[in-house]
Amino acid sequence: MPISPAALLGMSMRFRVVVDEIDLGGWASCAGLAVEFHNQKIKQGANYEFQTIVPDCVDYPPITLQRAMNTDDSGRVQRWLSQVVSTWFSDSSDGGYSDRTAQITLLDSQNKPVTTWRLRNVYPQKWEGPDLDASTGRIALEKLQLVHEGFL
């Protein structure tokens, strides 16, 4: 079925990431939006020509965000990570960090939402800053890796 001329397609370079209602700014790439369905094959009795497939579990890989560092957005990420650490290790807290959500919203060419993935129970797994080297003229990049319990 052809796409109507009025339909605006999602642009892979246009998306926004919000965690716990904190806008983490613009990112250059987002990898890991996937779901893998694991199944088990069960053979029954002496029937060697037939097997039953039963669902086992669903896996979600980590989400990896990457971008050039900048004064506004990189500061937001650092503040959010600091907030996460203080929540995890605060004496006044029970140490719980649950029910955190993230939304990754794909935008069209007019910056209108096409679809949103709502990630459940999001945890930062890794933040990686740039390799600093005065002998190169490379742009300083940062990466943020998030683990989650799914979006389905």
The reported pTM is 0.82
User: Residues 44-85: pLDDT tens digits?
Assistant: 887 888 888 999 999 999 999 999 999 889 999 999 999 889
pLDDT band at 8 (very low <50, low <70, confident <90, very high): low
Q: Two tokens at 106?
A: 């794909």
What is the rounded distance in angstroms from the CA atom of residue 76 to the CA atom of residue 72?
Answer: 7
Helices (H), the chain: 71-89
What is the rounded distance in angstroms from the CA atom of residue 55 to the CA atom of residue 36?
Answer: 11
